[in-house]
Structure 1
């Protein structure tokens, strides 16, 4: 582009740099061409997306990246990018053949997903383009802490069709963040030509109306044009604290990956054309034509690289695989442990406080304790309003707009930028309202799933220290999207904690533990209990509740009811009525924590009463209660005098009309009848 100062050219760039670039390009290409051989020999590298044809822009990304201040989010085709950023042949091969020594994560992630977290080269997902949101989150942290550096996100042009990419660029534009979005345009999304992806021939033009966003175009096949463009983009983004799109025109010389056959959709003319525009061949010709290097010098580099790759290959082959036992390591970080309240109970002294007040005061206390704590979400801070239910009331006034702010109506953006921001500093704790109601969380599920396996995938190198608050459940006449329960789906994922309190003190204590712990916690808030007097309790100022510790709310000898959330109060009412009417003594166990689950307390209760009823608001079919029932049947079968029974919603959505809602959701009478039948079994 005419406004880009030509820092680099074949004549202006010093010879040492030119030869260094050739070495990096040739090393990247050598590894790129060697990768399929490992698969052919059944050694590994079973996923390989060739970088050939993208060499110019990838060299530029890696060389412009400064690991002392920048953050790089490469995608699966960025082999040359990672080599240019400093990864060795050895590290590339360890990743390709999934060895334990792989610096990206010890072979836990798909091959060709190169990373080095300790250098801020982040381990990204196979979900194309989703790391754009993480880059925006890191860029937010860079700006918040007034630091130097930029976040660089790299991807193919077709993945820009993903909705979360638009969310990322919209958010970066709105917040004016120092992030560079590199689109490596090779014309195809696997076999789908870009004309089937977007109306614009250059996808970057889709974003021309975005304010605060600079768009730059370059020839990604040309080393100098790519280098000048990336250097200018980095300088401009950092100095102006605004986002840049770099659209690099590339060619894809080979198939999309080793599972693709490009001859099925590309003719001989096209295949010949892309080989003719090989960036390395062009760069080599320039070096020789302009007398910047001799054939002999380049041949010497090529031999040196070949020898280096041979050594790296031998080391890779000799390196150990991960052990089977290690599969269970780094699933989730160890949580914060309370020394004052080890079992999550207290003496109940003091005036009762409503659940919503307990949450609000705990949030404020933790924000005062840790200045690296942040809160955002939809509708959470505007003048005197603090969220749909006012849980965050007064927080922006006290802690300012840098720490408490509204997010766009984009659940993926809310989750994805949380994942990104906490990468910047291990002390950062982020609390997000993942959606205004739990039912609206589904658009964020891709980012949720991504975040659940970050700690495991990186072999403990990155922990997403995030608490996701969700107003959950029914009994408010909300109907669809305002009354459903989603905890049954959330608990199927390793790498996340899921808690669901029933009383104000447990809500406050679990929130404090969540915010002080490393790792992600889904904090389900029973919104029907926010202001309910029956959920109000005294709350000590520093109360903490451990994960995985249930609370016996009522002692009994003849039947155990296991429950959580809204139905806990119904179970207590049913238990009182059952005993009063002479049907038996009923124990009510409030699970509080669903994942991890307190297996010990559950089994001890069943051992004592010999009967078990599992009650929750969600549907019985495929609901979380099935896991509790299975635990009892598997590990407590010899204690049982009757089958385990369950009470929950019918297998329908929750209706809006109050008559429909009452018919669908469990209530005290339904629990009473089920418990009475079980006691009489």
Structure 2
């Protein structure tokens, strides 16, 4: 927590010195994030964080040096190699999946990742987070619906600081409560906690993780946190928040609270915390100085990884078949053949399972031959279809999904344009997303 706070402070100094160009902070959210990270298994569980999750990413194994490389857009930045804005986290070594700017798009991808976990029968858990503002997006509710219906091992963490930039939660959420709004989802556990209280938060996340690992389904943890900084370095919250409100938030600082709680129960003394603060401040300064010395990306690499350099493998000798097929039967034959070749290939979409077998019968017979775990119907939700496919693909599977008609594809265009098409480039080729989309 202290490291995250010192990084926020140092990054703002570098920004004012003209050495970086943007900052979006974690300050006030640290306790809830640390609590979540403490119940996760780094490099085993999966994380789809959002831009305020600095403390979480540090707790999962990322370093201060790596955060400065990101903030300063250096070539060795493991998040994106200088391709993305600061705080767009990514680190394959600890299973932090590349995140982009659109809010809420990560929810469906986390669900897709959990679908892969269930099929591999592991005890892994997927963490995905956002602020309360993103819960107004349709992708959030589509993700809750799919995860709840299939009892998937997903922990949805909503960090509620009451403001989506300047829009207060009272203008954002029906009833003003993100927690109450999702009461109707069956198999979804809900927890509301004081996100400035590490111990209360940890208890909730432990329960959520235990449920997930036992196959009991997803959870939503709504953390009541404080935003101690403006939304970003491009914002000034004094324009729309009262002086009293800002002062009240400072009194709920989670770091001061944890320090007070630890001293009261004898875990540590004030001198212990002072020493830790000095050590962390020195390390943060050293990390910043080191990162400043690292090279910028070479301009000629700016278009690297826009396209995949992988070539399609040849599948043995080519066969010339004299028999003629109509196109839909040829598609069906190809799907049967590839499903037999790849145990990690799945096919899903609207009405594609047997006995219907697709509105044009392109998938007929596939469910009967390969089973409902590999060929199945999806909800009528195109963004869900593509978003979950992205998550499955990043987890090592080969989703072949169907959008029934091209008129319906526009719901999925956010996931296609901003996520599927960019993940290789924006992650500097550390993540790839081999999804096949069929559409008529």
Shorter chain as denominator, the TM-score bin is over 0.9
SS where residue 375 of structure 1 aligns?
strand
Matched-pair contact (CA < 8 Å) for 2:43–2:93: no
Q: Which residue of 2 aligns with 1:446?
A: 414
Q: Which residue of 1 aligns with 2:373?
A: 402
User: In the alignment, is residue 196 of structure 1 matched against residue 165 of structure 2?
Assistant: no
Matched-pair contact (CA < 8 Å) for 1:379–1:406: yes
Aligned with 1:281 (options 240, 256, 259): 256
Aligned with 1:222 (options 178, 189, 197): 197
Distance 1:146 1:68 in 2: 17
Q: Which residue of 2 aligns with 1:419?
A: 390
Matched-pair contact (CA < 8 Å) for 1:212–1:242: yes
Distance 1:340 1:50, change over 3 A: closer
Distance 1:347 1:113 in 2: 47
Poorly superposed stretches of 4+, deviation over 3 Å: 335-342, 346-349
Distance 1:82 1:133 in 2: 20
Tell me how far 1:368 sits from its aligned partner: 0.3
Aligned with 1:162 (options 137, 159, 164): 137
Tell me how far 1:339 sits from its aligned partner: 5.0
Which is bigger in relative contact order (C-alpha 8 A, separation at least 6)? Answer: 2
Q: Which residue of 2 aligns with 1:106?
A: 81
Distance 2:431 2:39 in 1: 24
Q: How high is the TM-score relative to the length of structure 1?
A: 0.63
Structural mapping, 1:560-571, within 5 Å: none
Residues 384-431 of structure 1 deviation map (CA, whole Å, 9 limit, x = unaligned): x11111111111110100000011111000000000011212xx2110
Tell me how far 1:348 sits from its aligned partner: 5.7
Ranges in structure 1 where 5+ consecutive residues have no aligned partner: 1-24, 472-681
Tell me how far 1:97 sits from its aligned partner: 1.1
Residues 235-290 of structure 1 deviation map (CA, whole Å, 9 limit, x = unaligned): 11111340100011111112111111111110111011001111111111222233
Tell me how far 1:115 sits from its aligned partner: 2.3
Matched-pair contact (CA < 8 Å) for 1:99–1:107: yes
Aligned with 1:37 (options 8, 13, 23): 13
SS where residue 209 of structure 1 aligns?
coil
Q: How high is the TM-score relative to the length of structure 2?
A: 0.97
Distance 1:348 1:66, change over 3 A: closer
Residues 128-166 of structure 1 deviation map (CA, whole Å, 9 limit, x = unaligned): 111011110011111111111110001101100000110
Q: Which residue of 2 aligns with 1:461?
A: 430
Q: Which moved more, 1:265-274 or 1:280-289?
A: 280-289
Tell me how far 1:47 sits from its aligned partner: 2.9
* Rg (Cα) greater in structure: 1
Tell me how far 1:335 sits from its aligned partner: 4.0
Distance 1:32 1:230 in 2: 25
SS where residue 279 of structure 2 aligns?
helix
Distance 1:283 1:295 in 2: 11
Residues 346-381 of structure 1 deviation map (CA, whole Å, 9 limit, x = unaligned): 896512111111110000000001111001111111
SS where residue 328 of structure 1 aligns?
coil
SS where residue 215 of structure 1 aligns?
strand
Q: Which residue of 1 aligns with 2:350?
A: 378
Distance 2:114 2:221 in 1: 16
User: In the alignment, is residue 75 of structure 1 matched against residue 64 of structure 2?
Assistant: no
Aligned with 1:52 (options 19, 24, 27): 27
Distance 1:226 1:305 in 2: 24
Distance 1:276 1:203, change over 3 A: same
Distance 1:349 1:88 in 2: 57
Q: Which residue of 1 aligns with 2:322?
A: 350
Matched-pair contact (CA < 8 Å) for 2:90–2:427: no
CA RMSD of aligned residues (A): 1.6
Residues 469-527 of structure 1 deviation map (CA, whole Å, 9 limit, x = unaligned): 011xxxxxxxxxxxxxxxxxxxxxxxxxxxxxxxxxxxxxxxxxxxxxxxxxxxxxxxx
Residues 188-215 of structure 1 deviation map (CA, whole Å, 9 limit, x = unaligned): 1100000111122221211111111111
Distance 1:387 1:111 in 2: 43
Distance 2:214 2:398 in 1: 27
Aligned with 1:137 (options 108, 112, 132): 112
